[in-house]
Amino acid sequence: MKIHPTAIVHSKASLADDVEVGPFCLIGEHVTIGKGTRLLSHVTVDGWTEIGERNELHPFASIGGPPQHLGYKGEPTKVVIGNDNILREYVTVNRATAQGGGVTSLGSKNFLMAYVHVAHDCRLGSHLIMANAASLAGHITIGDHAIIGGLTGIHQFVRVGDYAMVGGCCAIGQDVPPFMRAAGGYRAHLYGLNSVGLRRHGFSGDRIAVLKKAFDLLFRSGHRSAEAIRLAKEEFKGQADVAQILTFMEGSKRGVSRSVSKDQEGEE
């Protein structure tokens, strides 16, 4: 291990042999860090925190601090982080609450830019990009390959699906389904598919066309949500992408973000 002499590492912390700990870092007693991970400087990792391999933590990141929750009484809840993540300056990831499941988790190959906040009991997938100062309240779930714009705030218990994109300076109060694009500042709305992102991830034109047709039925047909879902199940039977959207919608507890009109979509 390469541990700078100004760093403080608890004697009971478990670090792989090649972990790098830069100047003025602080690592707590119950921390585990996998091989190839680098803490550049002034990084704090505390609590019952497990960090995987080849992660890069930039100055003043704070990982595993207690949840910002008045009901927390010091229970040994966790933060679990996968492999190959980049956490830039001042990123905060708080450990979970006992009543929220006990684990705040972050998958692999994610890029969290400066000042991103991940609150207690959040569950983030892999291949995410969260731009500067994006903030997650507690109990939020974000799927794989999603993008969250800078200065965006997401309400507790909201879910953002796979391949969704949320624009910058948004307030997200309801779920954003997979493959969708949300924007619009306070009380953001859906603006159709994340078509550019889907093409970049190798979705074929035919696959995107099916999703666009399903979007129109689900969000622009004028049907109530339950009826639109029923019709979509009939029309798109056997379409795995559409089935993923329908399952997501049926599992919503906060409701799904509403769509703007086609004219408004063109303005975005």
Q: State pLDDT tens for residues 94-143.
A: 999 999 999 999 999 999 999 999 999 999 999 999 999 999 999 999 99
**Global confidence as pTM:** 0.95
**Domain boundary, last residue among 139, 174, 189:** 139
* CA angle 249–252–253, rounded 5-degree value: 160
Q: Which among 139, 160, 189 is the end of a domain? A: 139
Question: Residue 80, SS3?
Answer: strand
What per-residue confidence (pLDDT) applies to 267? 46
66 contact partners, CB below 8 Å, separation of at least 6: 47, 72, 74, 94, 95
Share of the chain above pLDDT 70, in %: 97
Coil, strand or helix at 109:
coil
Whether residues 44 and 119 share a domain: the answer is yes
Question: What CATH number did the domain enclosing 208 receive?
Answer: 1.20.1180.10
- Indicate if 116 and 210 belong to the same structural domain: no
Among candidate residues 123, 139, 155, the one where a domain is terminated: 139
Give the domain range for residue 93: 2-139
d(CA 2, CA 200): 39
Q: 204 with 132, same domain?
A: no
pLDDT tens column, 44-81: 999 999 999 999 999 999 999 999 999 999 999 999 99
Catalytic residue among 121, 162, 175, 241: 121
Catalytic annotation, pick one of 30, 120, 127, 139 = 120
138 is annotated as an active-site residue: yes
- Spatial contact of 208 and 197, defined as CB atoms under 8 Å apart: no
Options 22, 138, 143, 167, the catalytic residue: 138
Judgement on whether residues 21 and 126 belong to the same structural domain of the protein: yes
121 included as an active-site residue: yes
Backbone angles phi, psi at 147, to 5 degrees: -130, 130
DSSP bridge pairs for 147: 129, 165
> Is there a single domain that holds both residue 107 and residue 221?
no
In a domain, 222, yes or no: yes
Q: Does an H or E element contain 267, and which?
A: helix 262-267
d(CA 55, CA 178): 27
Domains in the chain: how many in total?
A: 2
| CB of 125 closer than 8 Å to CB of 97 | no
Position 169 in a domain: no
